[in-house]
Amino acid sequence: MASAPSQSGSNDQSHPLYATDREVVDRLLAAEVPADHHLVDAARLLMRYEAFPGARDLSSDLAKTLRLWGISREDLHSRTQAIWAKGFRPAPAASEAVGSSFDTADQEQT
């Protein structure tokens, strides 16, 4: 698991989701034309790191991503609002699967 690079400020913090978020930001940077899920990811990460005291590389790369896509934060907000209004729901990641392997079909009916 990657760790956050050392920051210049003495009060900077390391975010617990940095490694996962770094991977997402790298995918966003590689997306020439953003799909709905790219826009949603960019918006949520911009909100997560907006006032966070650290992970400045992520904030910088997110701003760079918007510039590459040619959209402002206001455009991103409007577009993601419309995406959610249409019923978009992100697919859960395999690592976020909830539940157990307990099979209730094998239980006897009473």
pLDDT averaged over 10-residue windows placed end to end, the chain, 110 residues: 50 89 96 94 94 92 97 96 90 61 54
Q: What is the pLDDT of residue 21?
A: 95
In a domain, 37, yes or no: yes
In a domain, 63, yes or no: yes
Q: What is the pLDDT of residue 109?
A: 55
Domain carrying residue 79: 18-87
In a domain, 4, yes or no: no
In a domain, 10, yes or no: no
Q: Using CA atoms, how far apart are residues 35 and 79, in angstroms rounded to an integer? A: 11
In a domain, 22, yes or no: yes
Q: What is the pLDDT of residue 83?
A: 95
In a domain, 80, yes or no: yes
Q: What is the pLDDT of residue 3?
A: 46
Number of domains in the chain: 1
Q: What is the pLDDT of residue 1?
A: 45
Q: What is the pLDDT of residue 6?
A: 46
- Measured N-to-C along each axis, helices 18-30 and 36-49 cross at an angle, to the nearest 10 degrees, of 140
Q: What is the pLDDT of residue 90?
A: 78
In a domain, 35, yes or no: yes
Q: What is the pLDDT of residue 11?
A: 80
Q: What is the pLDDT of residue 41?
A: 96
In a domain, 31, yes or no: yes
Q: What is the pLDDT of residue 93?
A: 65
How many beta carbons lie within 10 A of that of residue 2, not counting itself?
9
